[in-house]
């Protein structure tokens, strides 16, 4: 299970700076959209997201939106960002992501994954062997039973992260 444990947990994507990523040798970020950058109800990036993306772009970091949501949603979200978005990515399956990374020229060593789901985003990052897995708590979770169950399964993994990072 330890390979599911994120390397870092941030309170929000907005706390992740270009300097932090560059210090870890990161040039590419496979970035989830829903509940990581915006809620399911936001069809487009918020002002805050746009400004975060701008900072990344200025630092030469390539954000690649990788979503399991449908094409229409991802296309509209990515449209004005200047970054590419990929829908129906099949996370945590690695097939599409590998292809996308290859096209972008991204390597395991210089690519991070960012997302709000352990068994989707973090598992993908682990399977791809990415050098950095960053988790953020979901902005606003769906209240369906399925999602609640998924979150319940995430607890032991997050518990382990907290134990590993406990300040003594
Ligand atoms: Mg998500």
CATH number, position 103: 3.40.50.1000
- Give residue 130 CA to ligand 1 midpoint distance, Å: 18
pLDDT band at residue 150, thresholds of 50, 70 and 90? confident
Distances in Å between the Cα of 130 and the Cα atoms of 123, 133, 165 are 10, 7, 20
Vertex 20, ends 138 and 79: CA angle to 5°?
Answer: 55
Q: Which domain holds residue 152?
A: 2-164
**How many CB atoms within 10 Å of residue 3?**
12
As a whole number of angstroms, the distance between CA 48 and CA 56 comes to: 13
Count: domains in the chain: 1
Banded model confidence at residue 143, pLDDT cuts 50, 70, 90 = confident
- Separation of 138 CA from ligand 1 center, angstroms? 7
Q: How far is CA 75 from the centre of its chain?
A: 17
Q: How far is the CA of 114 from the centre of ligand 1 (A)?
A: 9
What is the pLDDT, as a whole number, of residue 148? 85
Q: How far apart are CA 113 and CA 131, in angstroms?
A: 9
How far is ligand 1, taken at its centre, from the CA of residue 95, in Å? 19
pLDDT of residue 167: 60
Which tokens sit at 124? 């993908």
pLDDT at 2: 80
Distance in Å, CA 168 to ligand 1 centroid: 32
DSSP lists the bridge partners of residue 133 as 113
Q: What angle do CA 143, 79, 32 make, to 5 degrees?
A: 40
Cα 100 to ligand 1 centre (Å): 19
pTM for the full model? 0.93
Ligand 1 is an ion; residues with CB less than 5 A from it:
32, 34-36, 116
Peptide bond into 92 cis (omega under 30): yes
Q: Under a CB-based contact definition with an 8 Å cutoff, are residues 41 and 73 in contact?
A: no
Q: Express as a percent the part of the chain with pLDDT over 90.
A: 87
The Cα–Cα gap between 150 and 60 comes to 35
Distance CA 17, CA 56 (A): 8
Task: Give 136 Cα–ligand 1 centroid separation in angstroms.
Answer: 9
CB atoms within 10 A of CB 90: 14
What tens digit of pLDDT does each residue of 72-98 get? 999 999 999 999 999 999 999 999 999
Confidence tier at 146 by pLDDT (50, 70, 90):
confident
């Amino acid at each position: 299970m330890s390979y599911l444990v994120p390397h870092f947990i941030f309170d929000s994507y907005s706390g992740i700076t270009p300097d932090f990523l560059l210090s870890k040798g990161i040039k590419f970020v496979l970035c989830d959209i829903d509940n990581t950058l915006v809620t399911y109800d936001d069809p487009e990036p918020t002002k805050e997201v746009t400004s975060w993306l701008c900072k990344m772009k200025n630092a030469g970091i390539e954000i690649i939106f990788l979503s399991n949501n449908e094409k229409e949603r991802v296309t509209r979200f990515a449209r004005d960002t200047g970054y590419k978005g990929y829908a129906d990515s099949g996370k945590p399956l690695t097939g599409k992501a590998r292809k996308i990374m290859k096209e972008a020229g991204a390597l395991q060593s210089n690519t991070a994954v960012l997302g709000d789901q352990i068994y989707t985003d973090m598992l993908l990052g682990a399977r791809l062997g990415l050098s950095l897995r960053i988790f953020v708590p979901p902005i606003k979770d769906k209240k369906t039973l399925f999602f609640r169950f998924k979150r319940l399964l995430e607890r032991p993994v997050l518990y382990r992260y907290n134990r590993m990072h406990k300040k003594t």
